[in-house]
Structures are given as C-alpha cells and as structure tokens.
Amino acid sequence: MKLITVAGPPSSGKTSVILKLIECMGLPKGSVGVVKFDCLTSFDNLRYREADIPIQTGFSGKICPDHYFVSNIDDAVQWGMKSGFQMLITESAGLCNRCSPYINGIFSICVIDNLSGANTPRKIGPLLKLADVVVVTKGDIVSQAEREVFAFNIKQVNALAKVIFINGITGQGSFLLSKHLQQARDIHTLRDMKLRFTTPAAVCSYCTGETRIGDSHQMGMMKKMEFKEL
C-alpha cells in the first residue's frame, strides 16, 4: 500500500485537492482510503462519503493534532492494510505551524492557498519546508503575478520543492500531482520509521490542564519572551 500525507492550514483546500486527485487517478472504487486528523469537529467525512471513499476521522481534542497524528499513524496504516487499500491518504490540518506530520520516505504534500497573503509561505515553517510537493490552490481568483510571487516565496523556504497549482473546484492541475504520486513507495508498516522533524517540546503545566496565570503556576518546559526597556 502507498501512503501519502497531506497537510496544510485550515480551509486551504486539502479535501478538495484529495477528492480531485482520487478522481483523476482512476483507481478502482474502494481501493483508496482517507484518514482525517482534526481538532474539534470536521465535516470532511460527509464529502468523502459522498464520493464513496472510505474515511476514518480522529479528533485530537486537547493535544496538538500533529502529536496526535504520530501516535496514531501506524494504526491508520494497519487499518488501510486490513481494508485492502492500494493507497491511503492522510489529511491533517496544521494548526501551530511548528509541527509537521511528514515522515522520512513517505510522500508528503503541503496544501496552501494563494489568498493567505504573499508572505505566508515564509511564516509556515516545517509544514511547508519539509514537504516534497507544495500544492497551491485558489489560483483562479488571484492574478498571475500574485501566483508567481507566491511561488517565489515558497521557493524561499523550500528551494527543492515542486510547486503545483491546482484548482480545487475544477481539478485543473491535479493530473500532474497524480503523476508525482507514482514515486510514492509501498509500505506495510511505519514501525521504526522517523518523523522528518521533531514535534515541539510541550510539557508545561498548561499542557496538563493548568488554567491559572502567573509565574508560580508555570512549570516544566517554558520559553519566556524578552521585553526590552524602551
């Protein structure tokens, strides 16, 4: 089974791109499954179901969705193998910009949209920096020049990435992405494989339920801001 990880900021067009991608790969019905990692709620399962695509959704709730991803991804792979998929695609919403769900040797796609501001690519971090392919959506509503500036800013953080423009509504561009996926390799398990990037150290008192504010309530890994005198 091939495993593909897709990640990107909320509402960037991940589901739209995955649906168009699956449509254009033309694999037999039921041979591609999706696992969605989300935080609180998600309506994506309805859209996948409508397209007859087997879907599992998990909610991370209190913890960072990417931490949640790592702790569940191998189980997801086992589910995919048991279901007899040829391909399993994971969709996760990167929220903290600091984490990324990419695994060494596993094909990784970052989806961002043109509307999120020209400098956004320079702020996203590992989510963008470590992706194999960066998909840019919503190019149908901005000018060619803005698309080019956006692609330039992506290259600034991920010089080696392939940048593909996809229209999430019409599917234009998804064909080239499907071609890239042919490089994805077959796997049976992820055991002992490694994340491309450490997830943030986050074991402070607030991680474990503290709500009170002030020095005396802060314990564990803390990073304090430096305020300079004017």
Partner 1 sequence: MIRQDFITLATDLSIEDLLLEYPIAADFLANLRLDSIPKQLSLSQALEEVDEGILQEFGLDRFGVLRSFCEFMETFTPAEVSPHAVSSLTIIGGLNKSGEPEKISLTIFCGEIISIVGPTGSGKSRLLNDIECLAQGDTPTGRRVLVNGAELDDLQRFEMDGKLVAQLSQNMNFVMDLTVREFLEMHAKSRLTINAEQVVEKCFLCANELAGEKFLPDTKITQLSGGQSRALMIADTAYMSNSPIVLIDEIENAGIDRRQAIELLAKREKIIFVSTHDPLLALSADKRMVIKNGGIIKVMDISDTEKQSLQAIEELDNTMQILRNRLRDGAQITLDLLKS
Ligand X SMILES: Nc1nc2c(ncn2[C@@H]2O[C@H](COP(=O)(O)OP(=O)(O)OP(=O)(O)O)[C@@H](O)[C@H]2O)c(=O)[nH]1
Pairing of strands 107-113, 2-8: parallel
Terminal CA-to-CA distance of the chain, rounded, Å? 59
Q: Which of residues 165-224 bind ligand X (CB under 6 A)?
A: 167-169
Confirm or reject binding of residue 32 to Zn ion (CB under 5 A).
Answer: no
Confirm or reject binding of residue 10 to ligand X (CB under 6 A).
Answer: yes
Give me the half-sphere count of Cα atoms (radius 13 Å) on the Cβ side of residue 176. 12
How long, in residues, is the chain? 230
Using the contact rule CB under 6 A, the part of the chain among 4-12, 76-84, 189-197, 221-229 near ligand X is 4-12
DSSP output for 169-217? TT-TTHHHHHHHHTTPPB-S--TT--BSSPPPP--BTTTTT----SGGG
DSSP state of 141: G
For the CB of residue 17, give the shortest distance to ligand X in the complex, in Å.
Answer: 7
Q: Which of residues 115-144 bind partner 1 (CB under 8 A)?
A: 115, 117-118, 122, 125-126, 129-130, 139-144
Confirm or reject binding of residue 81 to Zn ion (CB under 5 A).
Answer: no
For the CB of residue 7, give the shortest distance to Zn ion in the complex, in Å.
Answer: 11
Instruction: Give the span between the Cα atoms of 213 and 215, in whole angstroms.
Output: 7
Instruction: Name the residue among 177, 178, 134 with its Cα closest to residue 156.
Output: 134
Using the contact rule CB under 8 A, the part of the chain among 12-20, 29-37, 70-78, 146-154 near partner 1 is 146-154
What does residue 174 show for φ and ψ, rounded to 5 degrees?
A: -70, -25
- Smaller CB separation from ligand X, 13 or 58: 13
- Residues engaged in binding Zn ion (CB under 5 A): 64, 66, 96, 99, 202, 204, 206-207
- Residues engaged in binding ligand X (CB under 6 A): 8, 10-16, 44, 93, 137-138, 140-141, 167-169
- Residues engaged in binding partner 1 (CB under 8 A): 98, 114-115, 117-118, 122, 125-126, 129-130, 139-146, 148-149, 151-153, 155-157, 159-160, 162-165, 170, 172-173, 175-176, 179-180, 182, 196-198
